[in-house]
Amino acid sequence: MSRVPLTVAALARSRPLFDTYQRLVSLEFQSLTSIEVAEAAFSRMLKPNPYTAFDIPNAPDSDDVLMLGTDQRDYFVPLVREEARHLTDGDAVFDIGCGDGQTTAKAFETVRCKPAANILDPNAASIANYKKRMDTGMMPLRKGQSFVDSIDRFIDRSTAERSVRSLFGRHALCLVLHSIYFTADVSRLMNFVLDCLRPGGRALVVFGDDKTGYTGTLAHMYDQERDPPEAGDRRRNIQRRFDVFGIGDGPITAERATDAMRKELERSDFRVLNAQHHESRLYGNDLGDILALSFISGLVQMEDSTLADKLAFVGEALFRHPERFDLALETDGIRAHMLSVQQPQYYFCIERTEVRDDKG
């Protein structure tokens, strides 16, 4: 992909555009709850590739572009597909923080069997849509158990409820695809995920780089400006995520991630098979999309501040510091003429081994 950076000089005459799009996004978001704001922002990411969404004769070859609003799925969906192709009808999949199933449907569209899907999400509408995709044959999965709950509350229940404990040791595949942000304790979550795998089962974990990505950088800048009491907790939570997966100076490797995770989780009944860093991005048709995309995470969770204040901050940050987000204009491919910002991500494939030799 080729792109042209949008520098401070390039944006000099565009201030009225920023003001206009801030007002339009504010009008769209102002009557919504924080969950609805996140959904509206996320819809920008999920814009389908029109050449593959519809049966268009002689359409350009763009099968590798899954969604117009992000190329994160372009990177990790093929990796999930590779793991999913080994599943059988008798297997079970656990989709943690499953959303409405759109991403999982893409990842499983080449699967030729019908494993059971156990699904967890705090949004009842998302769970309903996920089930609808299974009912209508949009994904080759059959309905297992479904749970409407937050990740942390659900893990709390695992010590007391038989229906939750029954998930332990059952799954050939656990998916944690951009849902790790919604736990207060990443170590506890990963121990739970490993417990849910059968020996030889694999967990696929994907999450954004909140230290250098667009949304994480904005959240950090906003915290620096206001210095709220919870800012320290947010920074520590991000650092904890990096510590658990062995992310630091130098390239991430499976060996490094295995060593770090075994130390942090205090168990050794697993190994990391694959660890990758992707230079992925977010894309929008205009400045309004880029402003709205700032609310897919980070800022949307800061409910002590008004929507208007946050939008004004994002607009000012983009206008005065575009280089911090690598704001650019795309110049080729299906995303030509779209604006983009950096949103890197990490991918890990973790296999549970046969023997738990430390806590068993």
Write the pLDDT tens digit of every residue in 85-121: 999 999 999 999 999 998 999 899 889 899 999 999 9
pLDDT of residue 142: 94
> Per DSSP, what are the bridge partners of residue 345?
208, 278
Q: If residue 177 lies in a helix (H) or strand (E), which one and from where to where?
A: strand 171-177
| Entry pTM | 0.92
The residues, ordered by sequence, that sit 6+ positions from 245 with a Cβ below 8 Å of its Cβ are 205, 252, 257, 260, 261, 275, 346, 348
- 325 within 8 A of 214, measured Cβ to Cβ: yes
At 131, the pLDDT band (50, 70, 90 cuts) reads very high
Q: How far apart are CA 51 and CA 49, in angstroms?
A: 6
At 165, the pLDDT band (50, 70, 90 cuts) reads confident
Q: How far apart are CA 135 and CA 167, in angstroms?
A: 22
The residues, ordered by sequence, that sit 6+ positions from 313 with a Cβ below 8 Å of its Cβ are 218, 221, 222, 225
Tokens of 159: 């010590």
Give the amino acid at 323: E
| φ, ψ of residue 271 in degrees (nearest 5) | -150, 145
According to CATH, the topology of domain 74-208+245-280+345-360 is Rossmann fold (3.40.50)
pLDDT in tens, 185-199: 999 999 999 999 999
**Per-residue pLDDT for 304 more than 90?**
no
List, by residue range, all CATH 3.40.50.150 domains of the chain. 74-208+245-280+345-360
**Per-residue pLDDT for 360 more than 50?**
no
pLDDT of residue 164: 85
Per-residue pLDDT, averaged over 119-128, amounts to: 94
- 202 within 8 A of 273, measured Cβ to Cβ: yes
For tokens 């402003």, name the residue. Answer: 291
Average pLDDT of the residues of the chain? 92
3-class secondary-structure state, position 360: coil
At 287, the pLDDT band (50, 70, 90 cuts) reads very high
Q: Is 4 exposed, middle or buried (0-12, 13-18, 19+ CB in 10 A)?
A: exposed
**Could you tell me the sign of the dihedral formed by the alpha carbons of 119, 121, 123, 126, in that order?**
negative
- 301 within 8 A of 230, measured Cβ to Cβ: no
**Per-residue pLDDT for 356 more than 60?**
no
At 139, the pLDDT band (50, 70, 90 cuts) reads very high
pLDDT in tens, 229-274: 888 888 999 999 999 999 998 899 999 999 999 999 999 999 999 9
Q: How far apart are CA 91 and CA 112, in angstroms?
A: 13
